Chains A and B, each alone.
Chain A
Amino acid sequence: MKKLLTGNEAIAEGVIESGAEVVTGYPGTPSTEVILTLLPQEKELGIHIEWSVNEKVAFEIAAAAAWAGKRALVTMKMSGVNVAADSLASIAYSGCTGGLVIFVADDPGANAGMPEQDSRHYAKSMVVPMLDLASQQECLDYVKVAFDISEKIGGPVFLRSTTEIAHVASDVVLGEKLNIKREAHFERDIVKYTKAGAAWCMAQHQDTLNRLTEASKIAENYISESGIKINEIHIEAGSKCGVIYAGAVQGNFQEVLKRYNLKLSWLKIGMVHPLPEERIKEFLKNIDRVLILEELDPLIEAEVMRIAYLLNREVEILGKFDKTLSLIGNYSFKKIKNALEVLLKTKLESGQDPKILERAKKLEVKRPTSFCIGCPHRGTYFALNKAIKNLKYKKDEIIITGDIGCTILGMSKPFESCWTEVAMGASIGLAQGFKWAGIKKPVIATIGDSTFFHAGIPPLINAVYQKVPLTIIILDNGWTAMTGFEENPGTVNLNGVTNTRRVDIVEICQGCGIEDIQIIDPYQSKKATESIMKAIEYTGVSVIVSRRECALQAKRKKVKLAKRKVNIDKCTGCRICLSSLACPAMVFHPKDANNKAYMEITSACFGCGLCEFTCPFGAIEVIKDGK
């Protein structure tokens, strides 16, 4: 049977077909949809699936399940591997008895923001084999391959995707579901599972290296019963040019070959760590010039150079070192076409007039992002800016450290509040550094609820312990919203999907020793502003919990608030409301022959009521009884 699945949905299908019994993860674009797809099926599948508090915890849970003999998979984006890395290194050394697969999605092209980190480096540094996904079909197939290899070698295996694979849908052939039900069993073996003493640690290191060698042997000529291959070689008789590639570049590479009817040799690498050294040697013997196609860092390219040196064979190697290709961004059809022109020393005509495109580009309309209609964060930043102004500070003298998630939109117009965005929870740590550096004016950190749970608590404890005068604003909308509304420990309504107990951010703060905690409603702008002013003036660590459910989620739950309308007689068309809030429900009507200029609040209004606080003429009114 065929289904239209995105790469991530295909991973989810692969997880089901592999018989995995524990699936954990933390949301992060472009990896989120694996668990989003699986979670509603949890009961039906009879397995455990969860959004964990962060990637490290998620990984530890999956690892222990695999230590108990189960098949377990953990999902995260590339930044999440940084969080999980500490445990990952240790667990990689210990290995496992069941199957352990770490699914990580990289983002060449930085579609979702964040550094363009290449997680293949982790495979190298952690001594863990890594499969690189080149198509949506492989997403499904390689989950099975990864579990297969993991269990054969007795250690974890990385499965790496990228945005171009993860978020694109394609026709995918489904397979059979493996029926694995295993009794949990964990044998005490401190030589394997603890790190007491150099001898044990070095023995574990040797075991890890052995597992890597074993993985290499398995992968080199791997063909499963159903015909799934890991590495594939094609030698084109009569061509001395070749391409070695891995991952998402496959689609555009084959597209260029088809478009220009090019015939050349190629080697497709499915396992990027360890590399198939024998296949690479075999390939290099057949060609004189080779182009290495891999997005981000030149890991394969460096290895090919080493292997060519060992072969004592003069092969021209094109890639990133000679600047044929870029270290930055994903590889489009055009970039690959240009690289193949260099390889083949021929011009491949595109027939495109770049001048037309340049002219079109100049005319393009920029569409800056703002908070959604009714977003509670709009209210928080509106009140925060007002509080700063009321306290007679200038906007450019109060440092506000921002954090990951929807809350960072506070850096954009019209608020322009946040100054920094680093990593999960980093706003609270950075704020302390600014104080110790000697910043005399108040320093404020803003952070979302899920980000706070993820990595915001240790720096909060640190601030209390070191007595750093700070104001921390936790924007609690109850959801991990930016990535698509996943639940986190603070989420109230789980719609019966999961069996969880809510953890209250206020109680956490109290437990951490925060003495000045205020809960505000960001829709109640006046009160909110006063509370923030008090918090900023407080001499110790003060916390504001700005609490209001994400408006998109509230809308789904049919929460209805009184919408607003503009009284056109009073409206002067000054646009102060629009330029202070940038609410997408507002439309400005310029002056024309029949009308004066005026604002309109469309029926998309959610009823947060903030605009009422902005209008100097009292022209914004509540709609009563739908009139």
Chain B
Amino acid sequence: MESNFYLIGVGGQGVIRLGQIIADYGLKKGKKVKFFKEVGMAQRGGPVHCEIRIGNIFGSRIPPLSSDIVVVMELSEGLKSLEFIKPGGTIILNRKKIYPIDMMAYPGKYPQEEEIIRLIKEVKAKIIWIEAGKIASEAGLPIAENIVLLGALSFISLFDKESMMNMLRKHIPRELDKNIAAFNGGYKIVKRNNNMKII
């Protein structure tokens, strides 16, 4: 048994923090864990991605077609995850576009949403749309988009909610109430709108 999570976004969105919490959760459950992070130029608006593997695993990187869940924090970055999503796996799409600086400074083309969706459907992934920004704002902490997505991911993965709350307490002690509200916001919206269960 193995679970693979591929998280992607751009610098400043909290992709790595999200990964850390999931990896630590796996450790607390007594499982084998690998947590890979690509942060290169994250401070400077570069792409950021991380991979968490839990269970009977060896390599630190998710093999192609093996990711149970992909969390895409910035829409266009999701294109990079298509190699890894498992057919029938779930891709959680945060409705957010962040334009790179040079695209704003000079004419550049951001991919059409429909094109991205078409490709995701071709790799046979289920799509869950989440407006993490909106839910995080409702929770009183607009920056906590990653925690909203953690809530969504936790529901889909059937993570034990109480242990996950302990992880939140450990990793994000500041503004805990708002973070918990953000987590619950993500959790509930998936629970209400979807019945898909992966693990």
Query: Which residues in A have some Cβ–Cβ distance to B below 8 Å?
Result: 2-4, 111-112, 164, 167-171, 250-256, 258-259, 332-334, 350-353, 356-357, 359-361, 363-372, 409, 413-414, 552, 575, 578-579, 582-584, 586-588
Contacts and interface: CB of A to CB of B under 8 A. Distances in A.
Q: Which 3 A-B pairs have the closest CB atoms?
A: A251-B59, A254-B58, A255-B59
Given A360-B80, A367-B47, A369-B41, 5 more contacts: A168-B60, A251-B58, A252-B61, A363-B111, A588-B104
A170 B60 contact: yes
A538 B59 CA distance: 57
A584 B58 contact: no
26 contacts: A3-B27, A4-B23, A4-B33, A167-B37, A168-B35, A168-B60, A169-B33, A170-B32, A170-B35, A170-B60, A171-B27, A250-B58, A251-B61, A334-B63, A350-B64, A351-B87, A352-B64, A352-B83, A363-B119, A367-B45, A367-B46, A367-B100, A578-B104, A579-B106, A586-B104, A588-B104
Nearest to A583: B101
Contacts of A334: 63-64
Contacts of A575: 104-105
Nearest to B82: A360
Nearest to A249: B59
Contacts, number: 145
Best-surrounded residue of A112, A167, A552 (most CB of chain B within 10 A) = A167
Contacts of B40: 111-112, 369
Nearest to A2: B27
A367 B32 CA distance: 34
Contacts of B189: none
Contacts of A352: 64-65, 83
A365 B110 contact: yes
B59 A413 contact: no
Contacts of A579: 105-106
A36 to B, nearest CB: 14
B45 A351 contact: no
B62 to A, nearest CB: 8
Given A255-B57, A352-B83, A579-B106, A365 B34 contact: no
Contacts of B32: 170-171
A552 B104 CA distance: 24
Contacts of B87: 351
A170 B43 contact: no
A372 B79 contact: no
Contacts of B131: none
B43 A372 contact: yes
A358 to B, nearest CB: 11
B37 to A, nearest CB: 7
Contacts of B61: 164, 251-252, 332-333
Interface in B104-128: 104-106, 110-111, 115-116, 119, 122-123
Interface string B1-33: 000000000100000000000011001000111
A359 B112 CA distance: 13
Contacts of A167: 36-37
B111 to A, nearest CB: 4
Nearest to A336: B59
B15 to A, nearest CB: 13
B46 to A, nearest CB: 5
Contacts of A112: 40
Contacts of A353: 122-123
Given A251-B59, A582-B105, A351 B65 contact: yes
Given A167-B37, A171-B32, A357-B82, A363 B115 contact: yes
Contact of B103 (A168, A350, A365): A365
A578 B105 contact: yes
Given A333-B63, A356-B82, A369 B110 contact: no
Contacts of B59: 251-252, 254-255, 333
A350 B44 contact: no
A357 B123 CA distance: 9
Contacts of B157: none
A364 B44 contact: no
A583 B80 CA distance: 25
A370 B80 CA distance: 21
A491 B44 CA distance: 23
Contact of B60 (A3, A164, A356, A371): A164
Contacts of B104: 575, 578, 586-588
A364 B101 CA distance: 15
Interface string B51-71: 000001111110111000000
Contact of B100 (A168, A350, A368, A372): A368
Nearest to A170: B34
A112 B102 CA distance: 22
A207 to B, nearest CB: 40
A257 B37 CA distance: 24
B63 A360 contact: no
Interface in B150-183: none
Nearest to B35: A169
Nearest to A575: B105
Contacts of B145: none
Contacts of A413: 102
